[in-house]
Copies of this chain bind each other. A is one copy, B any other.
Amino acid sequence: MAQGWQEVNAEFMRRISAREWLPDQLIPAESELAAELGCSRVTVNRALRDLAQRGFLERKRKAGTRVIKNPERKATFVIPITRLEIENRGAVYSHQLLKREIKIPPPEVLARFRLPADSPLLYLNTLHLADAKPFVLEERWVNLAAVPELEAVDLQQQNANEWLVNHVPFSGGDLSLGARAADNKSAQLLHCGAGDALFEVQRTTWQGEQIITFVQLLHAPDYRLLTVL
């Protein structure tokens, strides 16, 4: 007789895998399952809730619980702080602030911030190095209206990424991954050839309705983002 919710969870998982519960099919109600397995309904609920969160079941009040046909596999990536990512590889982190200026960004950047056409933003261009070798080239736009304190920070010492993480916590954001050929300037900075295929990450971060920062990361060749399904 199953006791813990993890055992119950595993048993339900088995039934799905073994096709005892068919895709698109309703499964018994919580109370029935609880009676069958000899545990409380709360335990069944915990197990089913977990399976639903992991994408194997769909639950609706009154309608009941059904098995999902094509369970979508989800991959979770950790969005690391660059310094920690480098240090976790056992390398020494350093960074160079290549440019820092307040200016009006190009229209495609302004559009992301949903700001009027003449809004100045803080532009930062930073090269992050691992063991003194170029690791990732960062271009960042910061909405100073949202984080005015950043203007006074010495970004030679602490990079903007880290300062923002520590001072503007728990915001939302979106992420876009792709590939881009290195232009001449990037190639020079990253010590690679012009035209080399580089892994690119673009991230917009906001808090509430306000957009805080837009950052584009161009990684050195051969960089790969890894995860487990």
Q: Does A63 contact B (CB under 8 A)?
A: no
Chain B, Cβ-Cβ closest to A200: B179
Q: Does A157 contact B (CB under 8 A)?
A: no
Known: A179-B180, A199-B177, A228-B175. A170 touches B79 (CB 8 A): no
Q: Provide the bound-state CA to CA distance between A165 and B229, in Å.
A: 14
1/0 per residue, CB under 8 A from B, across A62-98: the answer is 0000000011111111111100100000000000000
Report yes or no: A77 in contact with B75, Cβ–Cβ below 8 A.
Answer: yes
Q: Which of B170, B226, B228 contacts A17 (CB 8 A)?
A: B170
Report yes or no: B174 in contact with A71, Cβ–Cβ below 8 A.
Answer: no
On chain B, the residues within 8 Å of A197 by CB distance are: 179-181, 196-198
Q: Does A38 contact B (CB under 8 A)?
A: no
Q: How many copies does the complex hold?
A: 2
Report yes or no: B73 in contact with A78, Cβ–Cβ below 8 A.
Answer: yes
On chain B, the residues within 8 Å of A73 by CB distance are: 78-79, 173
On chain B, the residues within 8 Å of A227 by CB distance are: 174-175
Q: Which of B74, B79, B181, B223 contacts A79 (CB 8 A)?
A: B74
Report yes or no: B170 in contact with A56, Cβ–Cβ below 8 A.
Answer: yes
> Which 9 A/B pairs are nearest by Cβ-Cβ distance?
A179-B179, A197-B197, A173-B229, A179-B197, A178-B224, A73-B79, A179-B199, A181-B197, A177-B225
